[in-house]
Amino acid sequence: MILVTGGAGFIGSNFVLDWVAQTGEPVVNLDKLTYAGNRENLSSLDGDERHLFVRGDIGDGDLVAQLLAQHQPRAVLNFAAESHVDRSITGPEAFIQTNMVGTFRLLEAVRHHWLKLEGAARADFRFLHVSTDEVYGSLDAGAPAFTEQHRYEPNSPYSASKAASDHLVRAYHHTYGLPVLTTNCSNNYGPYHFPEKLIPLMIVNALAGRNLPVYGDGMQIRDWLYVKDHCSAIRRVLEAGTPGEVYNVGGHNEKPNIEIVQTICALLGELRPRADGKPYTAQIAYVKDRPGHDRRYAIDASRIERELGWKPAETFESGIRKTVTWYLENADWVERVQSGAYREWVAAQYA
Protein backbone atom coordinates (compact mmCIF):
# COMPACT_ATOMS: atom_id res chain seq x y z
CA MET A 1 0.00 0.00 0.00
CA ILE A 2 1.18 3.53 -0.82
CA LEU A 3 -0.37 6.90 0.04
CA VAL A 4 -0.47 9.47 -2.76
CA THR A 5 -1.38 13.11 -2.12
CA GLY A 6 -2.74 15.25 -4.94
CA GLY A 7 -3.63 12.13 -6.89
CA ALA A 8 -6.59 13.68 -8.73
CA GLY A 9 -4.51 16.41 -10.35
CA PHE A 10 -2.74 16.22 -13.68
CA ILE A 11 0.52 14.46 -12.78
CA GLY A 12 -0.93 12.73 -9.73
CA SER A 13 -3.83 11.10 -11.57
CA ASN A 14 -1.55 9.91 -14.36
CA PHE A 15 0.74 8.44 -11.72
CA VAL A 16 -2.09 6.65 -9.89
CA LEU A 17 -3.47 5.18 -13.11
CA ASP A 18 -0.02 4.00 -14.22
CA TRP A 19 0.87 2.70 -10.75
CA VAL A 20 -2.17 0.47 -10.52
CA ALA A 21 -1.68 -0.72 -14.10
CA GLN A 22 2.06 -1.34 -13.75
CA THR A 23 2.31 -2.70 -10.20
CA GLY A 24 -1.17 -3.63 -9.00
CA GLU A 25 -0.23 -2.32 -5.55
CA PRO A 26 -3.12 -0.59 -3.72
CA VAL A 27 -3.18 3.21 -3.46
CA VAL A 28 -4.82 5.51 -0.91
CA ASN A 29 -5.37 8.75 -2.82
CA LEU A 30 -5.77 11.98 -0.80
CA ASP A 31 -6.83 15.04 -2.79
CA LYS A 32 -8.47 18.33 -1.83
CA LEU A 33 -10.25 18.57 -5.22
CA THR A 34 -9.47 22.20 -5.94
CA TYR A 35 -10.30 23.55 -9.41
CA ALA A 36 -7.46 21.49 -10.97
CA GLY A 37 -8.21 18.25 -9.09
CA ASN A 38 -10.67 16.17 -11.04
CA ARG A 39 -12.20 12.97 -9.70
CA GLU A 40 -13.24 12.09 -13.25
CA ASN A 41 -9.57 11.57 -14.17
CA LEU A 42 -9.74 8.39 -12.07
CA SER A 43 -13.12 7.11 -13.26
CA SER A 44 -11.54 4.00 -14.78
CA LEU A 45 -10.67 2.92 -11.21
CA ASP A 46 -14.23 3.23 -9.89
CA GLY A 47 -15.07 0.02 -8.06
CA ASP A 48 -11.43 -1.11 -8.10
CA GLU A 49 -10.44 -2.22 -4.58
CA ARG A 50 -6.85 -1.24 -5.29
CA HIS A 51 -7.80 2.45 -5.26
CA LEU A 52 -9.26 4.26 -2.25
CA PHE A 53 -10.06 7.93 -2.81
CA VAL A 54 -10.23 10.29 0.18
CA ARG A 55 -11.16 13.94 -0.22
CA GLY A 56 -9.02 16.02 2.10
CA ASP A 57 -6.19 18.51 2.55
CA ILE A 58 -2.53 17.70 3.22
CA GLY A 59 -2.71 20.57 5.70
CA ASP A 60 -5.13 18.53 7.83
CA GLY A 61 -2.58 16.79 10.04
CA ASP A 62 -5.20 14.83 11.94
CA LEU A 63 -6.64 13.36 8.75
CA VAL A 64 -3.21 12.44 7.40
CA ALA A 65 -2.29 10.82 10.72
CA GLN A 66 -5.52 8.83 10.65
CA LEU A 67 -4.86 7.57 7.12
CA LEU A 68 -1.29 6.60 8.00
CA ALA A 69 -2.37 4.71 11.12
CA GLN A 70 -5.25 2.95 9.38
CA HIS A 71 -3.54 1.91 6.14
CA GLN A 72 0.13 1.66 7.14
CA PRO A 73 1.51 2.65 3.71
CA ARG A 74 5.09 1.74 2.93
CA ALA A 75 5.56 5.09 1.18
CA VAL A 76 4.01 8.55 0.89
CA LEU A 77 4.29 10.36 -2.44
CA ASN A 78 3.50 14.07 -2.36
CA PHE A 79 2.10 15.48 -5.61
CA ALA A 80 -0.22 17.97 -3.87
CA ALA A 81 0.60 21.52 -4.91
CA GLU A 82 -0.69 24.73 -6.36
CA SER A 83 1.33 24.87 -9.56
CA HIS A 84 0.30 27.63 -11.98
CA VAL A 85 2.73 30.56 -12.09
CA ASP A 86 0.15 33.03 -13.43
CA ARG A 87 -2.25 32.25 -10.59
CA SER A 88 0.58 32.63 -8.07
CA ILE A 89 1.18 36.16 -9.32
CA THR A 90 -2.45 37.24 -8.93
CA GLY A 91 -3.14 35.20 -5.76
CA PRO A 92 0.02 34.01 -3.98
CA GLU A 93 -1.53 33.14 -0.61
CA ALA A 94 -3.02 29.83 -1.78
CA PHE A 95 0.48 28.78 -2.88
CA ILE A 96 1.96 29.61 0.50
CA GLN A 97 -0.77 27.69 2.31
CA THR A 98 -0.63 24.53 0.18
CA ASN A 99 2.99 24.31 -0.90
CA MET A 100 4.64 25.53 2.29
CA VAL A 101 2.26 25.12 5.22
CA GLY A 102 0.60 22.04 3.74
CA THR A 103 3.93 20.32 3.10
CA PHE A 104 5.07 21.15 6.63
CA ARG A 105 1.96 19.60 8.18
CA LEU A 106 2.23 16.56 5.94
CA LEU A 107 5.86 16.08 6.93
CA GLU A 108 5.00 16.37 10.60
CA ALA A 109 2.28 13.71 10.36
CA VAL A 110 4.59 11.43 8.36
CA ARG A 111 7.49 11.96 10.79
CA HIS A 112 5.43 11.00 13.83
CA HIS A 113 4.09 7.94 11.99
CA TRP A 114 7.56 6.85 10.86
CA LEU A 115 8.99 7.13 14.38
CA LYS A 116 6.44 4.56 15.56
CA LEU A 117 7.44 2.01 12.95
CA GLU A 118 9.83 -0.78 13.80
CA GLY A 119 12.28 -3.05 12.00
CA ALA A 120 11.91 -3.48 8.26
CA ALA A 121 8.78 -1.31 8.11
CA ARG A 122 10.77 1.65 9.39
CA ALA A 123 13.90 0.92 7.35
CA ASP A 124 11.98 0.52 4.10
CA PHE A 125 9.63 3.50 4.51
CA ARG A 126 10.01 6.40 2.03
CA PHE A 127 8.63 9.92 1.61
CA LEU A 128 8.90 11.08 -2.02
CA HIS A 129 8.40 14.78 -2.73
CA VAL A 130 7.58 15.83 -6.31
CA SER A 131 8.96 19.25 -7.18
CA THR A 132 9.86 21.41 -10.17
CA ASP A 133 12.82 22.78 -12.10
CA GLU A 134 11.45 26.30 -11.54
CA VAL A 135 13.09 26.39 -8.09
CA TYR A 136 16.43 26.83 -9.86
CA GLY A 137 15.45 30.12 -11.51
CA SER A 138 16.24 31.14 -15.08
CA LEU A 139 19.13 30.20 -17.36
CA ASP A 140 20.92 32.35 -19.92
CA ALA A 141 21.11 31.08 -23.48
CA GLY A 142 23.92 28.57 -23.78
CA ALA A 143 24.32 28.12 -20.01
CA PRO A 144 24.63 24.54 -18.73
CA ALA A 145 21.38 22.84 -17.77
CA PHE A 146 20.24 22.62 -14.15
CA THR A 147 21.93 19.87 -12.16
CA GLU A 148 20.96 18.74 -8.68
CA GLN A 149 23.71 21.02 -7.29
CA HIS A 150 22.39 24.17 -8.95
CA ARG A 151 21.69 27.04 -6.56
CA TYR A 152 18.03 27.75 -5.81
CA GLU A 153 16.92 31.09 -7.30
CA PRO A 154 13.10 31.04 -7.49
CA ASN A 155 11.58 34.00 -9.30
CA SER A 156 7.80 33.65 -8.81
CA PRO A 157 5.61 33.13 -5.76
CA TYR A 158 4.92 29.62 -7.10
CA SER A 159 8.58 28.63 -7.47
CA ALA A 160 9.46 30.27 -4.16
CA SER A 161 6.78 28.24 -2.38
CA LYS A 162 8.03 25.03 -4.01
CA ALA A 163 11.63 25.90 -3.10
CA ALA A 164 10.53 26.33 0.51
CA SER A 165 8.83 22.93 0.45
CA ASP A 166 11.99 21.34 -0.97
CA HIS A 167 14.04 22.87 1.83
CA LEU A 168 11.61 21.56 4.44
CA VAL A 169 11.86 18.05 3.00
CA ARG A 170 15.66 18.23 3.04
CA ALA A 171 15.66 19.54 6.61
CA TYR A 172 13.43 16.70 7.82
CA HIS A 173 15.97 14.23 6.48
CA HIS A 174 18.98 16.05 7.91
CA THR A 175 17.43 16.79 11.31
CA TYR A 176 15.16 13.82 11.95
CA GLY A 177 16.53 11.16 9.60
CA LEU A 178 13.23 10.88 7.72
CA PRO A 179 14.00 8.82 4.57
CA VAL A 180 13.01 11.35 1.90
CA LEU A 181 13.47 11.47 -1.84
CA THR A 182 12.99 14.59 -3.99
CA THR A 183 12.42 14.82 -7.74
CA ASN A 184 12.63 18.09 -9.68
CA CYS A 185 10.97 17.76 -13.05
CA SER A 186 10.74 19.89 -16.17
CA ASN A 187 7.47 21.00 -17.84
CA ASN A 188 5.04 18.08 -18.07
CA TYR A 189 2.43 17.59 -20.78
CA GLY A 190 -0.01 14.84 -21.69
CA PRO A 191 -3.53 13.54 -20.88
CA TYR A 192 -5.71 15.10 -18.16
CA HIS A 193 -3.77 18.39 -18.17
CA PHE A 194 -6.01 21.20 -16.93
CA PRO A 195 -6.41 23.70 -19.78
CA GLU A 196 -4.75 26.69 -18.17
CA LYS A 197 -1.21 25.53 -19.02
CA LEU A 198 0.35 26.23 -22.42
CA ILE A 199 -0.20 22.99 -24.36
CA PRO A 200 -3.79 22.15 -23.38
CA LEU A 201 -4.77 25.84 -23.57
CA MET A 202 -3.51 26.05 -27.15
CA ILE A 203 -5.34 22.87 -28.16
CA VAL A 204 -8.61 23.93 -26.56
CA ASN A 205 -8.50 27.50 -27.87
CA ALA A 206 -7.53 26.43 -31.37
CA LEU A 207 -10.46 24.02 -31.65
CA ALA A 208 -12.84 26.66 -30.27
CA GLY A 209 -11.70 29.26 -32.82
CA ARG A 210 -10.26 31.53 -30.13
CA ASN A 211 -6.96 33.38 -30.08
CA LEU A 212 -3.82 31.46 -29.11
CA PRO A 213 -2.21 33.82 -26.56
CA VAL A 214 1.58 33.77 -26.62
CA TYR A 215 3.46 35.75 -23.96
CA GLY A 216 5.98 38.34 -25.16
CA ASP A 217 8.01 37.16 -28.17
CA GLY A 218 7.28 33.48 -27.48
CA MET A 219 10.97 32.65 -27.19
CA GLN A 220 10.88 31.45 -23.58
CA ILE A 221 12.54 28.03 -23.59
CA ARG A 222 11.39 25.04 -21.57
CA ASP A 223 12.35 21.38 -21.39
CA TRP A 224 9.26 19.26 -22.10
CA LEU A 225 8.60 15.91 -20.38
CA TYR A 226 5.74 13.58 -21.33
CA VAL A 227 3.80 12.91 -18.15
CA LYS A 228 3.93 9.11 -18.39
CA ASP A 229 7.72 9.30 -18.63
CA HIS A 230 7.66 11.37 -15.46
CA CYS A 231 5.54 8.69 -13.79
CA SER A 232 8.01 5.97 -14.71
CA ALA A 233 10.86 8.08 -13.32
CA ILE A 234 9.07 8.51 -10.00
CA ARG A 235 8.44 4.77 -9.76
CA ARG A 236 12.14 4.16 -10.37
CA VAL A 237 13.27 6.74 -7.79
CA LEU A 238 10.92 5.24 -5.21
CA GLU A 239 12.27 1.79 -5.99
CA ALA A 240 16.00 2.49 -6.00
CA GLY A 241 16.72 6.12 -5.04
CA THR A 242 19.04 6.89 -2.13
CA PRO A 243 17.28 8.54 0.84
CA GLY A 244 18.15 12.20 1.21
CA GLU A 245 19.06 12.59 -2.46
CA VAL A 246 17.56 14.72 -5.24
CA TYR A 247 16.95 13.50 -8.80
CA ASN A 248 16.29 15.83 -11.73
CA VAL A 249 13.83 14.44 -14.28
CA GLY A 250 13.79 15.89 -17.79
CA GLY A 251 12.69 15.03 -21.30
CA HIS A 252 15.74 16.23 -23.27
CA ASN A 253 13.39 18.50 -25.25
CA GLU A 254 14.35 22.16 -24.97
CA LYS A 255 12.01 24.20 -27.15
CA PRO A 256 10.75 27.81 -27.27
CA ASN A 257 7.08 28.33 -26.53
CA ILE A 258 6.29 29.63 -30.00
CA GLU A 259 7.63 26.41 -31.53
CA ILE A 260 5.36 24.40 -29.24
CA VAL A 261 2.37 26.44 -30.40
CA GLN A 262 3.31 26.07 -34.05
CA THR A 263 3.73 22.30 -33.63
CA ILE A 264 0.27 22.02 -32.09
CA CYS A 265 -1.19 24.09 -34.95
CA ALA A 266 0.42 21.78 -37.50
CA LEU A 267 -0.86 18.62 -35.79
CA LEU A 268 -4.38 20.01 -35.52
CA GLY A 269 -4.21 21.02 -39.17
CA GLU A 270 -3.43 17.41 -39.99
CA LEU A 271 -5.84 15.70 -37.59
CA ARG A 272 -8.72 18.22 -37.41
CA PRO A 273 -8.41 20.87 -40.15
CA ARG A 274 -10.26 24.15 -39.81
CA ALA A 275 -13.52 24.26 -41.75
CA ASP A 276 -12.39 27.35 -43.67
CA GLY A 277 -9.15 25.69 -44.74
CA LYS A 278 -6.96 28.30 -43.04
CA PRO A 279 -4.02 27.30 -40.81
CA TYR A 280 -4.44 27.37 -37.05
CA THR A 281 -1.39 29.63 -36.86
CA ALA A 282 -3.70 32.45 -38.01
CA GLN A 283 -5.12 32.39 -34.47
CA ILE A 284 -1.78 33.16 -32.76
CA ALA A 285 -1.93 36.42 -30.82
CA TYR A 286 1.07 37.84 -28.96
CA VAL A 287 0.12 39.30 -25.57
CA LYS A 288 1.98 41.29 -22.93
CA ASP A 289 4.59 39.17 -21.17
CA ARG A 290 3.86 38.17 -17.60
CA PRO A 291 5.83 39.81 -14.77
CA GLY A 292 9.20 38.19 -14.03
CA HIS A 293 8.81 35.60 -16.79
CA ASP A 294 11.82 33.23 -16.65
CA ARG A 295 13.56 33.03 -20.00
CA ARG A 296 14.91 29.48 -20.03
CA TYR A 297 14.75 26.25 -18.06
CA ALA A 298 16.80 23.18 -18.92
CA ILE A 299 17.20 19.96 -16.93
CA ASP A 300 20.34 17.85 -16.78
CA ALA A 301 18.84 14.40 -16.12
CA SER A 302 22.16 12.52 -16.39
CA ARG A 303 22.19 11.51 -12.72
CA ILE A 304 18.94 9.55 -12.78
CA GLU A 305 20.04 7.86 -16.00
CA ARG A 306 23.52 7.07 -14.69
CA GLU A 307 22.56 5.89 -11.20
CA LEU A 308 19.06 4.47 -11.68
CA GLY A 309 19.02 3.56 -15.37
CA TRP A 310 16.04 5.77 -16.25
CA LYS A 311 15.54 7.81 -19.39
CA PRO A 312 12.40 9.03 -21.18
CA ALA A 313 10.70 6.70 -23.64
CA GLU A 314 8.96 9.44 -25.64
CA THR A 315 10.45 12.02 -27.96
CA PHE A 316 8.65 15.35 -28.05
CA GLU A 317 7.31 14.46 -31.49
CA SER A 318 5.74 11.21 -30.31
CA GLY A 319 4.52 12.64 -27.01
CA ILE A 320 2.88 15.75 -28.45
CA ARG A 321 1.07 13.68 -31.10
CA LYS A 322 -0.31 11.39 -28.37
CA THR A 323 -1.35 14.45 -26.37
CA VAL A 324 -3.17 16.23 -29.20
CA THR A 325 -4.88 12.98 -30.15
CA TRP A 326 -6.03 12.46 -26.55
CA TYR A 327 -7.64 15.91 -26.41
CA LEU A 328 -9.38 15.34 -29.73
CA GLU A 329 -10.75 12.03 -28.49
CA ASN A 330 -11.82 13.38 -25.07
CA ALA A 331 -13.75 16.52 -25.93
CA ASP A 332 -16.38 15.71 -23.29
CA TRP A 333 -13.74 15.75 -20.55
CA VAL A 334 -12.43 19.09 -21.80
CA GLU A 335 -15.91 20.59 -21.80
CA ARG A 336 -16.70 19.44 -18.28
CA VAL A 337 -13.49 20.77 -16.70
CA GLN A 338 -14.03 24.23 -18.16
CA SER A 339 -16.37 25.69 -15.57
CA GLY A 340 -17.70 29.20 -15.70
CA ALA A 341 -15.17 30.31 -13.08
CA TYR A 342 -12.32 28.91 -15.16
CA ARG A 343 -13.49 30.72 -18.32
CA GLU A 344 -13.72 33.99 -16.38
CA TRP A 345 -10.17 33.54 -15.10
CA VAL A 346 -8.77 32.89 -18.59
CA ALA A 347 -10.62 35.93 -19.98
CA ALA A 348 -9.15 38.16 -17.27
CA GLN A 349 -5.64 36.70 -17.51
CA TYR A 350 -5.25 37.10 -21.28
CA ALA A 351 -7.36 40.20 -21.83
Q: Which residues are catalytic?
A: 133-134, 158
**How many other CB atoms sit within 10 Å of the CB of residue 222?**
23
Residue 218 identity: G
C-alpha distances in Å from residue 7, one per residue of 38, 87, 134, 348: 9, 21, 21, 29
158 burial (CB, 10 Å; 0-12 / 13-18 / 19+) is buried
| DSSP per residue, 87-108 | HHHH-THHHIIIIIIIHHHHHH
Q: b/e map of 317-334 (b: 16 or more CB within 10 Å)?
A: eebbbebbebbeeeeebb
Distance CA 262, CA 110 (A): 45
For residues 189 and 272, the answer to whether their CB atoms sit within 8 Å is no
CA distance 92 to 105: 19
Pick from 108, 247, 252, 88: which is nearest to 162 by CA? 88
